[in-house]
Structure 1
């Protein structure tokens, strides 16, 4: 079965300067980025009446976008009984504390067993909401808080709030190296030009801003509290790598074990066996999409990160001269 798709919209100030595929993903969130790219490449997208088949073409405010395409019926994602740690739920939203190892969306290598599949089981009606109500993501091995919309209306409100930077997202991280002070990384991020599974700071990429402050100093590591202004893929991981302080355990950006001199065998083993990026979405604050009440949640630091910090604390106490 096929469906004729006819979409029209206007580029806003928020999308100005984005690539065409990125802008369409924001304007038409019901459709995947892969499908949008296919439409562009096939000549199904026009800008101000002119067909544009280059996904990287930049767009400008007030340009008129039109999509005329044929949509083949997709295989629906299946509901699966996967345990969720739900910290809040009402008729409009769900807030979950995502565990490590849980992928958010089905994709290459993860056809199911994802947060989306779990949401379809927990709340069957959410199948009527694009992407099962998911409005932002955490990486597979990043833990912590995510908000999910249970209705299309709630999703629209949340997406708008995210774009306006009205949702507060704070993280805890442990990075390699001792940092003396906090700061802000304001550097654009785009997919790495050669390593396609990685992102990188690239001039001309999407604006990306991360604020960070020092929460605790160790002998050779630092515990940070971070706040996102934007929500790019791998943003914290890329920005910390960019300033020379990659996250402990990060398998993609090089957070391999780097024990300081005179480190105990126990400390080295804990560091060596920490096999995910040390990153946790600890706090989430937003205005409820319908009551407009300011709501805030905090997720306890997971046990593996607590053990890691405890071991670093002990190492620092045992080696005070080197730390000073």
Structure 2
């Protein structure tokens, strides 16, 4: 199924001489540039009644534009009744606190049972929005806050805000090693040369910047607060491993258990039993896509993370001079 839309407009004087795709982005800001470009190339756009299929075509003041196109529903994904922890909701956005173990988007080896399937069930009209409104992702075993757009205008705004680094995402993590101070990692991230499911710091990668500060130090671990400037796949996990402080539980990037000397049986059990990366998206802040109001949400630290911190504190108290 699909929705047929008809858009009309006239090229304003300030867009005289611009490319068609640029002019359409100004005329119809509710739609993404990539979507508009696709509509041009598939023949859905006319100028003064003539089909123009070249995005680079120059336009002149007063030209009449018409877009007669279809928005495809993402019906290839099924709606499934999966519980969602909704922190905030209005007519335009959802803020969700994602649990560990929930995959965000269907993919190879995981065709359903994802956040996307849950969103289609919870709010059926979201099937009109690309990717069911998902603007950014969290790894399967990372917990915490995500924003989801319920409408195309909201998604268009949020995607641009994410690309423009206007959405603040703060995380907490526990890493291996006792760090002495915070800092930042500014290293490009791309696909690993030989392990195709892994990411890595590579010269040919995309720019990636992670800020981190120390919240609490333990004998052989550190509780961190981190802020992303960019949103690369596995960014925090890769950057922390790169500076030799991989996250606790992150076996993919070297975070195997590294207990301090003379650790208690309880701490050993907690470290060995922590089967996911110790990473939680704790705070999300953004301008509302419609009202412009600056909003911020916090997600409580999940129970397994709380228990990990408690065991590390007990270990520090038991060995005050280490």
TM bucket, shorter chain: 0.7 to 0.9
* Counterparts in 2 of 1:144 and 1:73: CA distance versus 1, 3 Å: closer
Contact 1:30/1:130 (8 A) holds in 2 = no
Q: State whether residues 171 and 227 of structure 1, in contact with CA within 8 Å, keep that contact through their aligned partners in structure 2.
A: yes
What is aligned with 1:177?
177
Match of 1:28 in 2: 34
Superposition map of 1:73-92 within 5 A: 76-92=76-92
Matches within 5 A, 1:99-178: 99-178=99-178
Separation in 2 of the partners of 1:48 and 1:30? 12
Q: After the TM superposition, which segments of 4 or more aligned residues of structure 1 sit over 2 Å from their partners?
A: 26-31, 46-49, 72-75
Provide the C-alpha distance between the structure 1 equivalents of 2:73 and 2:289, rounded to a whole number of angstroms: 31
In structure 2, the residue matched to 1:239 is: 239
Contact 1:104 1:116 in 2 (8 A): yes
- Following superposition, the deviation at residue 48 of structure 1 comes to 7.5
Is the partner of 2:252 in helix, strand or coil? coil
Offset, 1:28: 2.6
Q: Which of these two proteins has the greater Rg computed from alpha carbons?
A: 2
Which residue pairs with 1:188 in the alignment?
Answer: 188
Please give the residue correspondences for 1:210-249 in structure 2 after superposition, counting only pairs within 5 Å.
Answer: 210-249=210-249
Structure 1: runs of 5 or more not aligned? 2-7, 11-25, 32-45, 50-71
Aligned to 1:260, what secondary structure does the other structure show? coil
Q: Aligned pair in 2 of structure 1 residues 29, 279: CA closer, same or farther (>3 Å)?
A: farther
SS of the aligned residue for 1:28 comes to helix
Q: Distance in 1 between the 2:152 and 2:120 partners?
A: 15
Contact 1:29 1:130 in 2 (8 A): no
5 Å-filtered alignment, 1:201-212, equals: 201-212=201-212
Return the offset for 1:256: 1.0
1:321, CA displacement in angstroms?
A: 1.8
The C-alpha deviation readout for 1:71-109, integer Å capped at 9, x for no partner, is x99861000000000000000000000000000000011
Per mean C-alpha deviation after superposition, the further-off stretch among 124-133 and 246-255 is: 246-255
Superposed CA offset, 1:153-210 (max 9, x none): 0000001111111100000000000000000100000010110110000012100000
Runs of 5+ unmatched residues, structure 2: 2-19, 23-31, 38-53, 58-71
Alpha-carbon separation, structure 1, partners of 2:36 and 2:112:
20
Q: Secondary structure at the match of 1:107?
A: coil
**Contact 2:74 2:128 (8 Å CA) reproduced:** no
The question of whether the paired residues in 1 share the 8 Å contact of 2:73 and 2:128 is answered with no
Q: For the residues of structure 1 that align with 2:198 and 2:260, how far apart are their CA atoms?
A: 28
1: distance between equivalents of 2:230 and 2:166? 10
Count residues with an aligned counterpart.
Answer: 268
Whether the aligned pair in 1 keeps the contact of 2:21 and 2:55 (CA below 8 Å) is no
TM-score w.r.t. length of structure 1? 0.78
Equivalent position of 2:302 in the other structure: 302
Match of 2:315 in 1: 315
- TM-score normalised by length of structure 2: 0.79
Change (3 A) 1:114 1:312: same
Cα RMSD of the aligned pairs, angstroms, is 2.5
